[in-house]
Amino acid sequence: MNDTSRALKFFYLYFKKYKLQFLVIAIFIIAATYLQVKAPVLLGDSITHLSTYVGDYFSHQHADEAVKGLQQIAASSSQAQDALQQIASQMSQAAGHVVDWHSLTSANVPAAVTSNLPSGTTIDSLQALAKIPTDWHQLTDANVPEVIRATLNGQSIADLMKVATSQAPSKADFMNSMWMLLAFYLMTGVAQLIYSLLFTRIVAHSTNRMRKGLFGKLERLTISYFDRHADGDILARFTSDLDNIQNTLNQAAVNVTTNFALFIGILYMIFDQNVKMALVTISTTPVAILCAVIIIVQAKKYTDKQQKEVGELNAY
């Protein structure tokens, strides 16, 4: 713990002058994290819009057929009314008074009159057809007889109306989602580039100051220090140790920071989408953390051993 405290104080001494730069880095890391977390949501929206467009496209291909079918149904009403009016006219001439075609039924129309009707057609069926709206836009399953709906190959009037009134498919929503997704990826790349460059610059300047400070301290040491320490150990301080610090700060520090921010962002998104699924997802996190701690502890022993052997090699 004492070594950790000393290490933190050491790094704070060299990094404290870059507080503003670290603030800018933090802002860009947060921005990049938000964009990374939000991008899959936009991708899902794009897929949804694409599937909607494809469905509308194939549905609209049959719009003309649906309109034609509905127009034929509406036209059958006019045809039935014309037939009933002709029958009423014949009966009016025979009876000597006006017969309203609305009052005609299979019971009050003589068989001689209905014999001229197509096979299977009755006065009652004509009356049912005559009640169908003549405007196809007003057709519904309620005002179209079952005998007509049975000829629609399993489709309902509502299905035909939906197809007939469907608008021409538009790719606008899909393209907007794709352009926004592309913009998110570009902004993510720019944000990552900016904070990476800033952090690399800070690390380069800081490690350079560390080298100068270490060399200055080395100049102030007594001769007895060099007698007590191997040349390889001293040389390793300037080469291997500082190189490890620089590489760690350039790679591990940035990765740890960005991955931690990404972890928080993903947690927020999955809890926002589905709490139960989020709890199931993070249930394995403690196990992963425990494994990481064990690996780090074991790796530290071998890292110390490696540095010792590097010093011995340099002193050879």
pTM comes to 0.58
Residue 35 in this model has a pLDDT that exceeds 80: yes
pLDDT for position 314: 57
Kindly report which listed range (12-16, 50-54, 183-187) carries the lowest average pLDDT score.
12-16
Closest to 175 measured CA to CA, from 40, 56, 45, 60: 45
User: 290: which 2 tokens?
Assistant: 């425990």
- Where helices occur in the chain by DSSP H, the ranges are 2-15, 19-60, 63-95, 111-114, 123-130, 146-149, 157-164, 172-220, 223-228, 231-236, 242-247, 254-273, 275-282, 285-314
Q: Residue 144's pLDDT band (boundaries 50, 70, 90)?
A: confident
Kindly report which listed range (181-195, 198-212, 230-244, 265-279) carries the lowest average pLDDT score.
230-244
Residue 241 in this model has a pLDDT that exceeds 80: no
Mean pLDDT of the chain: 81
Classify 153 as helix, strand or coil: coil
Structural domains in the chain, CATH included, are: 2-31+176-314 (1.20.1560.10), 54-164 (no CATH)
pLDDT for position 187: 93
Helix axes of 172-220 and 254-273: crossing angle, nearest 10 degrees: 150
Q: Residue 143's pLDDT band (boundaries 50, 70, 90)?
A: confident
174 vs 45: CA distance, rounded Å:
8
- DSSP structure class, residue 132: S
Sorted by sequence, the CB contacts under 8 Å of residue 257 that are 6+ apart come out as 29
Q: How many CB atoms lie within 10 A of CB 41?
A: 14
pLDDT for position 199: 87
Determine what percent of the chain is predicted with pLDDT higher than 90.
Answer: 5
Residue 316 in this model has a pLDDT that exceeds 60: no
Helix axes of 275-282 and 254-273: crossing angle, nearest 10 degrees: 140
Residue 1 in this model has a pLDDT that exceeds 60: no
Residue 313 in this model has a pLDDT that exceeds 80: no
Residue 19 in this model has a pLDDT that exceeds 60: yes
How far, CA to CA in Å, does 33 sit from each of 26, 271, 288?
10, 16, 22
Sorted by sequence, the CB contacts under 8 Å of residue 193 that are 6+ apart come out as none
Measured on CA atoms in the order 244, 247, 252, 258, is the torsion positive or negative? Answer: positive
